[in-house]
Amino acid sequence: MNNAILIAYQTIVRKEFVRFARIWIQTILPSVITIFLYITIFGNFIGDRIGNVDSFHYIDYIIPGLIIMPIISNSYMNVVGSFYSSRFQKSHEELFVSPVPNWIILLGYVTGGVMRAFVVGFAVYIVTTLFTSIPIANVALVILLTFLTAFLFSIAGFINAVYAKSFDDINIVTTFVLTPLTYLGGTFYSIASLPQVWQDISVFNPIVYIISSYRLAFLGVEETSLVLSLSVIISLIIILFVTALMLLSRGTGIKN
Amino acid sequence: MEKALEIIGLNKVYRNNIRALENINLTVEKGDLFAFLGPNGAGKSTVIGIISSLVRITSGDVYVLGENIKKNPDFAKRNIGLVPQEYNLCQFIPIEETMISVAGYFGINRKDAEKKTYTLFNQLGIWHKRKNTPRELSGGMKRRLMIARALIHSPKILILDEPTAGVDTELRLTMWDFFQELNRQGVTIILTTHYLEEAERLCKNLAIIHKGKIIQRSTMSEVFSMKKNHTYIIKTSELIIDSIQLKGLLFKKIDQNTCEVMADESVSVTYIINELKNFNLNVINIISKRNRLEELFMDLTKEEVSV
Residues of A in contact with B54 (CB under 8 A): 93, 96-97, 254-256
Helix, coil or strand: residue B236 = strand
Contact assignment for B93 to A3 by CB distance below 8 Å: no
CA distances A210 to A56, A80, A216, Å, are 19, 21, 10
Distance from CA of A201 to the nearest CA of B (A): 40
Give this complex's ipTM: 0.88
Based on the fold, state whether residues B44 and B168 are members of the same structural domain: yes
B185 within some domain: yes
B170 within some domain: yes
Is residue B18 within 8 angstroms of chain A, CB to CB? no
Burial (CB count within 10 angstroms: exposed 0-12, middle 13-18, buried 19+), residue A133 = exposed
Residue B73 maps to which CATH number?
3.40.50.300
Per-residue pLDDT, B307: 33
Based on the fold, state whether residues B208 and B164 are members of the same structural domain: yes
For A8, the closest of B55, B86, B107 (CB atoms) is B107
Per-residue pLDDT tens digits of chain A, which is 256 residues long: 588 999 999 999 999 999 999 999 998 999 999 988 888 887 777 777 777 777 788 888 889 999 999 999 999 999 999 999 999 988 899 999 999 999 999 999 999 999 999 999 999 999 988 888 778 899 999 999 999 999 999 999 999 999 998 888 888 888 888 888 888 888 888 888 888 888 888 889 999 999 999 999 999 888 889 999 999 999 999 999 999 999 999 888 777 7
Contact assignment for A98 to B108 by CB distance below 8 Å: no
Give tens-digit pLDDT for B94-121.
Answer: 999 999 999 999 999 999 999 999 999 9
Is residue B99 within 8 angstroms of chain A, CB to CB? no
Distance from CA of B46 to the nearest CA of A (A): 9
| The last residue of a domain, from among B224, B258, B278 | B224
Nearest chain A residue to B72, by CA? A99
Is residue B226 within 8 angstroms of chain A, CB to CB? no
Contact assignment for A7 to B88 by CB distance below 8 Å: no
Per-residue pLDDT, B170: 83
Distance from CA of B225 to the nearest CA of A (A): 39
Is residue B77 within 8 angstroms of chain A, CB to CB? yes
Contact assignment for B54 to A8 by CB distance below 8 Å: no
Based on the fold, state whether residues B217 and B232 are members of the same structural domain: no
In chain A, where do the E strands start and end?
52-53, 56-57
Nearest chain A residue to B104, by CA? A8
Distance from CA of B172 to the nearest CA of A (A): 24
| The last residue of a domain, from among B169, B199, B224 | B224
Nearest chain B residue to A15, by CA? B101
Is residue B82 within 8 angstroms of chain A, CB to CB? yes
B182 within some domain: yes
Contact assignment for A8 to B105 by CB distance below 8 Å: yes
| The last residue of a domain, from among B224, B254, B270 | B224
For A97, the closest of B77, B87, B108 (CB atoms) is B77
Is residue B131 within 8 angstroms of chain A, CB to CB? no
Based on the fold, state whether residues B77 and B166 are members of the same structural domain: yes
By residue range, what is the domain housing residue B259?
Answer: 228-306
Is residue A133 within 8 angstroms of chain B, CB to CB? no
The answer to whether A95 and B105 are in contact (CB under 8 A) is yes
Question: Rounded to the nearest 5°, which phi and psi values hold at B218?
Answer: -165, 180
Distance from CA of A1 to the nearest CA of B (A): 12
Q: How many CB pairs under 8 A join A and B?
A: 86
B141 within some domain: no
H runs (alpha helix) in chain B? 44-51, 73-79, 95-105, 110-124, 139-151, 169-184, 196-202, 220-226, 269-277, 292-306
Per-residue pLDDT, B227: 65
Residues of B in contact with A252 (CB under 8 A): none
Distance from CA of A204 to the nearest CA of B (A): 36
The order of strands in the sheet holding B33-37 is B80-83, B157-161, B188-192, B33-37, B205-210, B213-219
Based on the fold, state whether residues B164 and B293 are members of the same structural domain: no
For A100, the closest of B49, B93, B105 (CB atoms) is B105
What residues in chain B have per-residue pLDDT under 70? 224-228, 290-296, 299, 302-307
Contact assignment for B49 to A94 by CB distance below 8 Å: no
Selected residue of B101, B110, B149 to mutate for chain A interface (largest A Cβ count, 10 A): B101
pTM of the model: 0.84
**What's the rounded Cα separation, in Å, for the pair A154 and A109?**
8
Based on the fold, state whether residues B85 and B232 are members of the same structural domain: no
User: Running DSSP on this structure, what letter comes out for residue B264?
Assistant: E
Structural domain tally of chain B? 2
User: Nearest Cα to A27, choosing from A14, A13, A17?
Assistant: A17
Is residue B105 within 8 angstroms of chain A, CB to CB? yes
B127 within some domain: no
Residue B271 maps to which CATH number?
3.30.70.1560
Distance from CA of B55 to the nearest CA of A (A): 5
Contact assignment for B105 to A11 by CB distance below 8 Å: yes
Q: Give A170's Cβ-side CA count (13 Å radius).
A: 19
Per-residue pLDDT, B262: 85
Kindly give the pairing relationship between strand B3-13 and strand B19-29: antiparallel
